Chains A and B, each alone.
Chain A
Amino acid sequence: MFSRRDFLQLAAAAAAVMPAGGTRALAQQGLSEAELLRFAPLGNITLLHVADIHGQLVPVHFREPSLNIGVGEARGLPPHITGKDFLQRYGIPEKSAAAYALTFEDFEALAKSYGRIGGLDRAATVIKLVRAERGEGNVLFLDGGDTWQGSLGANRSKGQDMVDCMRLLKPDAMTGHWEFTYGEARVKELIKGLGFPFLALNVRDTEWNEPVFEPYKMFDKGGVKIAVLGQAFPYQPVANPRWLIPNWSFGIREDDVRATVEKARKAGAQLVVMLSHNGFDVDRKLASRVSGIDVILTSHTHDALPEAVRVGKTLLIASGSHGKFVSRLDLDARDGEVKDFRYKLIPLFADAIRPDAEMAAAIAKARAPYAGELRREVGRTESLLYRRGSFNGTFDDLICAALIKERDAEIALSPGFRWGASVLPGAAITIEDIHNATAITYPNAYRLTMSGERLKEVLEDVADNLFNPDPYYQQGGDMVRCGGLGYSVDVRKPAGQRISGMTHLKTGKPIEPKKDYAVAGWASVNEGTQGPPIWDVVERYIAGEKVVRIAPNTSVKIAGV
């Protein structure tokens, strides 16, 4: 497959790079912009896709997961392979640039060699070059959503900074998830100023059951009529606060997807593309049940796959997160079907790809109001701080420690969000770093008492949202992170029976069902939650600690993987 060969060349070019070589090693080893973008064009249409940028305007370090559990039919299939298994599956050499971009292996050392990845200015360079090469009339650029949230600037400007910068890239359409956490009025206001459609076929009003957004849009590209269907995150009012969007109802709505595909085909669509925020496993199941979709541009679960996944006649693309990648999919679409395709997941190595001047200026302008605050050092870390992974992340361990200390709790709960950039060992922890892991519109750090029984219910409930063998019953986050609480989990067990051996870590005693425990947490979906914003809690804690060290987390015992 072209994409694999391509990645191999990328890897070979960088194979000689040794850690501690400095990020300039990239250029010295031939990892140039031209090499990263090298692509033998194919067919008549190019799709460009970004997703899950999570408010990241500038390049980041982002460690991919070491554990990404798949259950049921998805067990052991991409994207549920990590580390060396991932490298082997895709033929990527260890310690290569591709290995660094796509896996957690040797992350700390390789981060020093290969540097940061992403930045909307680098994405702009790539998008402009591809448009110039292929011709505007043959390129569709689509944003899968989770674009407007995830950083201090995005949160303070209620998504405005991201909208202003993304607008320069002239996307053809977008859909959303965290976008909705700015509330109905703000979402409508931002959409009005987009200049391109916000598509979501699976959102209806709770009163009259009527569509809220445009379900799809038809484009003429490469001499072909292309229908782009939008599918917003199906579990918005469950996974995030319903009170922020009380008049809207979501859901997978498979029948509506099917009906929209049929309608688009009837209206003359020769190529059907679904811009989806379902999450990869949901899309894989959907592709096996709904015919007539040529391409699903997946998102939500933050998977970065260097090859397209085929389900029947449908191609699934997974473009990663945090602005690390731009996906390029060339299609030979004729006679109402895809005859051939070529795919490349382009990693945006910040030291290899030139920043686009226009976008760089827009980013600087967007960040200017908070520039001093963003770089203010709160403390330092001796450990790598990261979040992604099915059960633990060191950044969450840090947040849980902060909750326990600053809110005087025995047990801390931190949501299993998949977004949040990494901080390298030895680096300063800045205000920007803290907000990159906490910037939400419902940040209050609550403190309350919960019985042991209730704690188990919470863990079981979240576990079923991850490990229900039917992807349609999953929500796509990771497991809730616990501080001060250990437990065992068997992912194969049915709902309500996965969690056992819950232990109060401070005393080493079992959690008692009828006993009350002081619990602190954040990101409650309930309206009116009381408590200081989580970023203040974390800042106070880090400032007090001065240097952060995170011990390996051994408090969750996992079975059935």
Chain B
Amino acid sequence: MAVPRIKLDKKEAKKGDLVEVKALVAHIMESGQRKDASGAVIPRKILNKFTCTVNGKEVFSADFEPAVAANPYIQFKFRAQESGAVVLTWTDDDGSKIVGEEKITVS
């Protein structure tokens, strides 16, 4: 399973600060619209859902369509409220999940 790469613009934040998250994950994002050499449609296989939680509370999520590029990149912000785990989860069409985690310390 692919290991996501995650960057927070700060690991330590004051309560109320905006924290910027950038994440990259390796995935073909097969659109389901391409054909192979024999003319058969290559089945769709994409990461269709992305979620970010901080201490289990959702701060941002997204639904992806096949128009999202391969190796999806996502960048967003959340408001720092408490120290804890920043967990990023991508859900595949096949139901499998890719999960990455970072820590944030809020003072």
Contacts and interface: CB of A to CB of B under 8 A. Distances in A.
A209 B24 contact: no
A207 interface: yes
B62 to A, nearest CB: 16
Nearest to B24: A207
Contacts of B24: 207-208
B77 to A, nearest CB: 14
Interface string A292-321: 000000000000000000000000000000
Q: How large is the interface on B (under 10, 10 to 19, 20 to 34, 35 or more residues)?
A: under 10
A209 B69 CA distance: 15
Interface in B1-59: 7, 22, 24
Nearest to A207: B24
B40 to A, nearest CB: 26
B73 interface: yes
A71 to B, nearest CB: 31
Given A207-B73, A208-B22, A209-B73, 4 more contacts: A208-B7, A208-B24, A209-B22, A209-B75
A208 B75 CA distance: 9
Interface string B56-91: 000000000000000001010000000000000000
Instruction: List 6 A-B pairs, minimum CB-CB distance, nearest first.
Output: A208-B22, A209-B75, A208-B7, A207-B24, A209-B22, A209-B73
A207 B73 CA distance: 8
Interface of A: 207-209
A209 B74 CA distance: 10
Contacts of A207: 24, 73
B18 to A, nearest CB: 16
Nearest to A206: B73
Contacts of A209: 22, 73, 75
Nearest to B22: A208
A208 B6 CA distance: 10
A207 B74 CA distance: 11
Nearest to B75: A209
Contacts of B73: 207, 209
Contacts of B7: 208
Contacts of A208: 7, 22, 24
8 contacts: A207-B24, A207-B73, A208-B7, A208-B22, A208-B24, A209-B22, A209-B73, A209-B75
A273 B9 CA distance: 30
Contacts of B22: 208-209
A208 B71 CA distance: 12
A207 B72 CA distance: 10
A209 B22 CA distance: 9
B20 to A, nearest CB: 10
A205 to B, nearest CB: 11
Nearest to A208: B22
A112 B1 CA distance: 72
Contacts of B75: 209
A47 B27 CA distance: 50
B26 to A, nearest CB: 12
A120 B73 CA distance: 46
B19 to A, nearest CB: 16
A207 to B, nearest CB: 7
B100 to A, nearest CB: 15
Nearest to B71: A207
A182 B24 CA distance: 29
B2 to A, nearest CB: 15
A83 B8 CA distance: 57
A223 to B, nearest CB: 37
A557 B91 CA distance: 56
A207 B22 CA distance: 10
B71 to A, nearest CB: 9
A208 B9 CA distance: 12
A63 B22 CA distance: 50
A467 to B, nearest CB: 29
A209 B23 CA distance: 11
A208 B8 CA distance: 11
B94 to A, nearest CB: 26
A207 B24 CA distance: 8
Nearest to B7: A208
A385 B30 CA distance: 51
A209 B73 CA distance: 10
A210 to B, nearest CB: 9
A209 B76 CA distance: 12
Nearest to A209: B75
A530 B22 CA distance: 40
